[in-house]
Amino acid sequence: MSYSHHHEKHYILRTGWLRAAVLGANDGIISVTSLVIGMAASGASNQTLLITCIAGLISGASSMAAGEYISVKSQEDIEQADLHMESRELRKNPDLELKELTHIYTLRGLTPELAHKVAVQLTAKDALAAHARDEIGIHENTTANAVQAAASSAIAFSLGALLPLLTIVFSPVEYLDRSIVIVGVLSLALLGALSSYFAGTSMLRGSLRVTVWGVVAMLFAHWIGSLFHVTPL
């Protein structure tokens, strides 16, 4: 079988959007559900809970989008600064840079002679790309896209925050508190399983990890909210 027919779709290629999406959905579920639980523990009315949930969804999605965009752009700035530095060194000290690349390949297991040949050939093809990949660790397959990360995070946050919002709208008033908690826990368990599935890891372990930390956050929010509870006269 020829090599051209042997192509593997590695999970690392999903890093750019998966991290932002999981972070956004996780934050949407935990932060908005915890916010609503805390407000409910303080004795807030259902209307107040609904307004709080909507405000949390809008502000949270906007914040996540802005945060992801700025974060990825900051990473891109660092990478570009390193590439400019490396480009300058390649112009000023090409022999030293070639020795540096040879040393890297030697440490990875090649003989000094073969490492030198590989370094020479890769330098001749694209010296900056070789140093970016093998010296700095910059690779196009794992580099995040700022707009994609921001959009993924905002959409995922909105979907996560939509769950407690729908619970408030459709749940019977007498069961509202319990419904919010149940939906929140189930949502976290499902998110953990899905994120682990796309990452190619244990769905059970991922589900438990996300759920446990989410429950801890909800319990803490409930405790804080209960401190402000005022019993009507």
- Give per-residue pLDDT as tens, 170-181: 988 888 888 999
pLDDT of residue 9: 59
94-107 and 112-131 are packed helices; what angle lies between their axes, rounded to 10 degrees? 120
Q: Where are the alpha helices (DSSP H) in the chain?
A: 15-41, 46-92, 94-107, 112-131, 146-170, 176-199, 203-226
pLDDT tens digits along 96-136? 999 999 999 999 999 999 999 999 999 999 999 899 888 88
Cα 191 from Cα 163, distance rounded (Å):
12
Tell me the pLDDT tens digit for each residue of 30-44.
899 999 999 988 888
Does the pTM exceed 0.85? no
pLDDT at residue 212 is higher than 80: yes
**Mean pLDDT for all residues in the chain:** 85
107-111, 164-168, 216-220, 226-230: segment of lowest average pLDDT: 226-230
Nearest to 9 by CA among 200, 195, 147: 200
Residue 8, pLDDT > 80, answer no
pLDDT in the model for residue 14: 52
